[in-house]
Amino acid sequence: MTQDYDVKTDRFHVAGTNYYQENILSLSKDNASYDSTERELIEDGMTDEKIYEFYFNPQKCILIPEPDNKYDKNAIRVEADGVPIGYIKKGSTSRVKKLMSSENFLNISIDIGGGKYKIVEEETDDDGNQIYDLIKGESNYWAIVEIYTKMPKKLVSINNSTQEQQAQPEFNHRSENRAQRNEAVPHYAQKVELTCEQKYKNRKLLRIPIVISAFSAVLSLILHSWGFLAVFAIILILSLIGYRKNK
């Protein structure tokens, strides 16, 4: 069964992880690839990417409000598998609470990384030969909370059948071909062309205000009523413009 909604992901960096490095380390698991030699990493195609000593796969993430927090009454503590690892950034707490309380809320997860790593950098020398350089480093552990919410799919009706509307690219360059721009315009925004029969009916209807406005303008001129004359003259001009456009 096809789901009738899209999933939106909002990401929030966890603050204060420097104070919870040991807690985060307790969630780590050994990464077997970290013990690979430089040659083994090259043969496995694992160049130009950081290979960390540990990896993290937390199964559960919960956010706990701390209204009694002496530093910030809006503070939200982040826990992974029951272990506190930091707080939602102060400027993001309102947004997080809104997403969590929304009827469209689906799920929450956490991504953790950092620690010791090594990377095999691949380069090409002046003679076109591939050269490799093994570099080791270390960074603090970090964490990112991911909140998933439902978003209704955009629908558009085409020939009495409902189809999903694909996201359209934005055209910011004047040099784009006009036909390409027209293809990117949603169906409901395309210009509607009138049939000859519709144009004839519109012209016929416009004759009525033209005749009335002309007669009223002449009558206002006879009675020296300049205010009414101006009003009817404007109506007459607008009617004539509308008549010409429907030719």
Of 123, 152, 181, at which residue does a domain stop?
152
Identify whether residues 25 and 145 lie together within a single domain. yes
Compute, in degrees rounded to 10, the torsion defined by CA atoms 29, 30, 34, 40.
-120
Q: Six-digit token pair at 190? A: 């395309």
Q: How many domains does the chain have?
A: 2
Identify whether residues 212 and 147 lie together within a single domain. no
At residue 124, the pLDDT reads: 86
Q: What value does the CA radius of gyration of the chain take, rounded to a whole number of Å?
A: 34
Identify whether residues 214 and 148 lie together within a single domain. no
At residue 171, the pLDDT reads: 33
Phi, psi angle pair for 86, to nearest 5° = 155, -160
- Structural domain for 203, as ranges: 196-245
Identify whether residues 41 and 106 lie together within a single domain. yes
CA distance linking residue 92 with residue 76, whole number of Å: 10
At residue 129, the pLDDT reads: 85
pLDDT in tens, the chain (247 residues): 567 788 999 999 999 999 999 999 999 999 999 999 888 888 888 888 899 999 999 999 999 999 999 999 999 999 999 999 999 999 999 999 999 999 999 999 999 999 999 999 988 888 888 888 899 999 999 999 999 999 887 644 444 444 444 443 333 333 333 333 333 333 333 333 334 444 455 555 556 666 676 777 677 777 776 676 677 677 767 766 765 655 5
At residue 52, the pLDDT reads: 94
Identify whether residues 34 and 141 lie together within a single domain. yes
Comparing C-alpha atoms, which of 189, 105, 115 is closest to residue 151? 105
pTM attached to this predicted model: 0.56
Compute, in degrees rounded to 10, the torsion defined by CA atoms 14, 17, 23, 25.
100
Identify whether residues 221 and 106 lie together within a single domain. no
CA distance linking residue 158 with residue 81, whole number of Å: 48
Burial of 80 (0-12, 13-18, 19+ CB in 10 A): buried
Identify whether residues 206 and 123 lie together within a single domain. no
